[in-house]
Amino acid sequence: MKTIFQGTKVLSCKGSKVQKMSRTKSIFFLLSSGLFTLFSFAQEQDSTKVNKLDDVLVSAVRVTSKTPVTFSNMDKKEIKFRNLGQDIPVLMNYLPSVVTTSDAGGGIGYTGIRVRGSDATRVNVTINGIPYNDAESQGTFWVNMPDFASSVESLQLQRGVGTSTNGSGAFGASLNMLTDSYASKANGEVSGSFGSFNSQKQTVKFSTGLLNDHFELAGRLSRIKSDGYVDRASSDLKSYFLQGTYVGKTTLIKALVFGGTEKTYQSWNGIDEETLNTNRTFNSAGMYTDENGNVRFYDNETDNYQQDHYQLHWSESVSDKWSTNLAFHYTKGKGYYENYKEDADMAEYGLLPVGAVTTTDLVRQKWLDNDFYGTTFSVKYKDEKLDVIFGGGWNKYEGDHYGKVIWARYASQSELGDHYYDDFSTKTDGNIFAKANYQFTEKLSFYGDLQYRNVKYKANSAETGLVDNNFNFFNPKAGLNYAFNEKNTLYFSYARANREPNRTDYEGGNVKPEKLNDFELGWRFNSEKFQLNSNFYYMAYKDQLILTGTLDDVGSPIRANTDKSYRLGFELDATIKLSEQFIIRPNFTLSSNKNVDLAVDGQNYGTTKIAYSPEVIAGNIIVYSPLQSLHISLLQKYVGEQYMNNIELPSAKLADYFVNDLNVSYEIKPKSVFKSIMITGLVNNILDKKYVSNGYMWDVYPYYYPQAGINFLAGLTLKF
């Protein structure tokens, strides 16, 4: 089964198989053989060479404090202290309104994130402005990009609808990541870490620096392995990252190839309450009874996937006021998960009875073979008072779903390589947008953002039926930013978002697209020793697809439309510099998340709490630096109680939890050989709290995903 957070990567269905289009192969040839294609997004250049990629690659999707949008930033400096193998959601755990979980319990393998109670399918994720969410399930599978944090220059999490971006609409947040900037001088890096549950990571990075002041080649190779906290929840993850950069007087061209392969033993089933109390690491995945009555576990009950990304970005500064940007991208994904099925119905797998025998033990594989490709562009104009970006993108997804039986006790008439189902799906997604910031006065500025988005989705399977939908969405956004003085700023914004259903939603039938009106009112204070961001938000939904707390037969979370619902909350985060040695960074969220007049199976339950939406979320980071080279951090996270369904069953309540982590890093800067030697240690859950961060309901019975008690990771990084 898949975790509640993730959706599912491979879906079971039947139908005809879509043929790969010749243009898909042509695009793949163009991007891979040329390797180095280009990159996008509006940039703000001076008359000299580009110094930072941030302005070039993400200015079309990122915001600053002058924009009336609620956001948080993380940069490479902050990431490096805890980058010891855990996934990006775990590294983001201490941002406001964020809740994370891990199937394996230790932060390596399948991990997930929720923001303001919205799950990963509602968080729009882009890499250098290119959509990363799976186009069909809308989920984000971080396990396909192991150690990607080692190639991230910075990231920005916009809460709420945020600004217009490429890919599926943001219904809880949008996360945009900027990959490594180029280096002017040659350098290298070797790092390794090890820790609890036999966890280990090895990473090698290099950069040639700018050759002839114009060209740079850089790359990374990584491997992460872990046995996992949960029994047999092992991970074997490999990844790579390669980029080529050309920097001219008015031109920046970047070509990137990156990807990864993962093999994880399934830990998606969770455990019931009795097992949680007696054997919290138990994993039922792969369990079966052999012909002699012995309980055994299938040794290859695994998820296997490879994903390769190709991006080409080109940014041109036409004049002091005009710049243009263009990007092409292609992603190839292929993989399967494998299950041992006990006493399977032979007819379900296309097998004829063998005499009177109609069931058989078998091993099946469910495959997904997909292609995702497209282009994004933007044009930017900027003068003293007006900053305008016009842009958009077009993307297409082509996915084949099929299943194979690789072993059966009674094989009947089957042949090796036979498919017992063949499904197809295609999705095209096009959008255009125009964004403008206008400075009315020295203190008052206006932000406007208009986006039109068209989505066409076709699918054919036994579960979804024949789907052929065409959606047209108009998403306006506007806001005001008023600076009282250099320290105090007040902002207000309104944003409209529309979102199409995902593949699993169609299994329920009669599904509707969602609508959201997001209102944000915030105050920012910024001084040398104290920074404060606070905001109220009100997110009013029509036909929101809420998680019901149940899973389908392949572990994908089931959602259903609710007519009216809302999320109302207050967020606050601060950075307080008590002295040169002490910094405190607290944040907390208070919220009310409600379904209005919820109707389930014809019964009206009135106003109820939305599933997986805790009313209290708090985080805190205390940093003590007695020396410039020594950093000691205490990281704290509190998540209030939450329900796993929408009718507030007492058995569906997840208890609150409070977890503390300790992070220590010490950097040595030798005078020869190495530029830097960094020793890092991380002790997670130092108080050994027994807690559960996620679960689901099987009828009225809860199932849980327990998280690890006290555990550690330690690492060494050598830079030269």
pLDDT tens by residue, 211-227: 999 999 999 999 999 99
Which secondary-structure segment (H or E) carries 54? helix 53-58
In total, how many domains does the chain have? 1
Tokens, residue 410: 């009674």
Mean local confidence (pLDDT), 627-652: 96
pLDDT at 28 over 80: no
Interior CA angle at 402 toward 400 and 403, to 5°?
Answer: 165
Give residue 22's pLDDT.
Answer: 40
The DSSP code for 527 is -
Determine contact, residues 693/99, Cβ cutoff 8 Å. Answer: yes
Tens digit of pLDDT for each residue in 70-123? 999 999 989 999 999 999 999 999 999 999 999 999 999 999 999 999 998 999
What CATH number should be reported for the domain holding residue 505? 2.40.170.20
pLDDT band at 659 (very low <50, low <70, confident <90, very high): very high
Share of the chain above pLDDT 90, in %: 79
pLDDT band at 9 (very low <50, low <70, confident <90, very high): very low
pLDDT at 345 over 70: yes
Give residue 18's pLDDT.
Answer: 36
Mean local confidence (pLDDT), 166-188: 90
Determine contact, residues 264/300, Cβ cutoff 8 Å. Answer: no
pLDDT at 621 over 60: yes
pLDDT at 614 over 90: yes
Nearest CA to 666 out of 200, 36, 80, 257 is that of 80
Residues in contact with 101: Cβ distance below 8 Å, sequence separation at least 6, in sequence order? 3, 5, 111, 112, 693, 694, 705, 707
As a whole number of angstroms, the distance between CA 62 and CA 166 comes to 12
pLDDT at 44 over 90: no
At position 188, the amino acid (one-letter code) is: G
Tokens, residue 449: 């953002």
The answer to whether residue 13 is domain-embedded is no
As a whole number of angstroms, the distance between CA 226 and CA 197 comes to 6
Residues in contact with 626: Cβ distance below 8 Å, sequence separation at least 6, in sequence order? 581, 632
The DSSP code for 182 is P
User: 180 by DSSP, 3-state: which?
Assistant: coil
pLDDT band at 385 (very low <50, low <70, confident <90, very high): very high
Q: How far apart are the first and last CA of the chain?
A: 44
How far, in Å, are 97, 124, 469, 536, 586 from residue 114 at the CA level?
8, 12, 28, 19, 19
As a whole number of angstroms, the distance between CA 82 and CA 90 comes to 10
Share of the chain above pLDDT 70, in %: 92
Mean local confidence (pLDDT), 574-593: 96
Nearest CA to 674 out of 630, 718, 716 is that of 718
pLDDT band at 487 (very low <50, low <70, confident <90, very high): very high
Tokens, residue 230: 């949960």
Give residue 56's pLDDT.
Answer: 55
The answer to whether residue 334 is domain-embedded is yes
**Furthest CA-CA distance within the chain:** 86
The answer to whether residue 321 is domain-embedded is yes
Give residue 42's pLDDT.
Answer: 30
As a whole number of angstroms, the distance between CA 714 and CA 659 comes to 19
For all residues of the chain together, what is the average pLDDT?
90
pLDDT at 133 over 60: yes
The answer to whether residue 473 is domain-embedded is no
Q: Is the dihedral of CA 277, 281, 286, 292 positive or negative?
A: negative
Alpha-helical segments (H) within 243-380 = 273-278
Which secondary-structure segment (H or E) carries 400? strand 386-408
pLDDT at 565 over 80: yes
Give residue 58's pLDDT.
Answer: 67
pLDDT at 379 over 70: yes
The answer to whether residue 608 is domain-embedded is yes
Residues in contact with 617: Cβ distance below 8 Å, sequence separation at least 6, in sequence order? 96, 97, 98, 99, 588, 589, 591, 638, 639, 640
Length of the chain: 720
The answer to whether residue 12 is domain-embedded is no
Cβ-count burial 544-575 (b if 16+ within 10 Å, e if not): bbbbbbbbbebbbbbbbbbeebbbebebbbbb
Place of tokens 């004049």: 319
pLDDT band at 509 (very low <50, low <70, confident <90, very high): confident
As a whole number of angstroms, the distance between CA 299 and CA 480 comes to 58
Give residue 4's pLDDT.
Answer: 35
The answer to whether residue 7 is domain-embedded is no
pLDDT band at 43 (very low <50, low <70, confident <90, very high): very low
Q: Read off the pTM.
A: 0.90
pLDDT band at 13 (very low <50, low <70, confident <90, very high): very low
As a whole number of angstroms, the distance between CA 272 and CA 84 comes to 31
Give residue 461's pLDDT.
Answer: 87
At position 118, the amino acid (one-letter code) is: S
Which secondary-structure segment (H or E) carries 41? none
Task: Quote the radius of gyration of the chain (alpha carbons, Å).
Answer: 25
The answer to whether residue 5 is domain-embedded is no
Tokens, residue 120: 């990963």
At position 393, the amino acid (one-letter code) is: G
Tens digit of pLDDT for each residue in 455-484? 999 999 887 888 999 999 999 999 999 999
Give residue 238's pLDDT.
Answer: 97
The DSSP code for 20 is P
Mean local confidence (pLDDT), 292-310: 96
How far, in Å, are 77, 115, 422 from residue 12 at the CA level?
43, 29, 9
Give residue 57's pLDDT.
Answer: 61
Which secondary-structure segment (H or E) carries 30? helix 22-33
Place of tokens 């092409």: 328
Tens digit of pLDDT for each residue in 322-336? 988 899 999 999 999
Determine contact, residues 561/598, Cβ cutoff 8 Å. Answer: no
Give residue 54's pLDDT.
Answer: 45
How far, in Å, are 106, 231, 703 from residue 264 at the CA level?
13, 12, 21
Domain span at 30: 22-468+478-719
As a whole number of angstroms, the distance between CA 613 and CA 544 comes to 14
At position 294, the amino acid (one-letter code) is: N
As a whole number of angstroms, the distance between CA 513 and CA 523 comes to 33
Nearest CA to 173 out of 132, 117, 127 is that of 117
More confident residue, 555 or 272: 272
Exposed / middle / buried, residue 118 (Cβ in 10 Å: 0-12, 13-18, 19+): buried
pLDDT at 304 over 60: yes
* Phi, psi for 283 (deg, rounded to 5): -130, 115
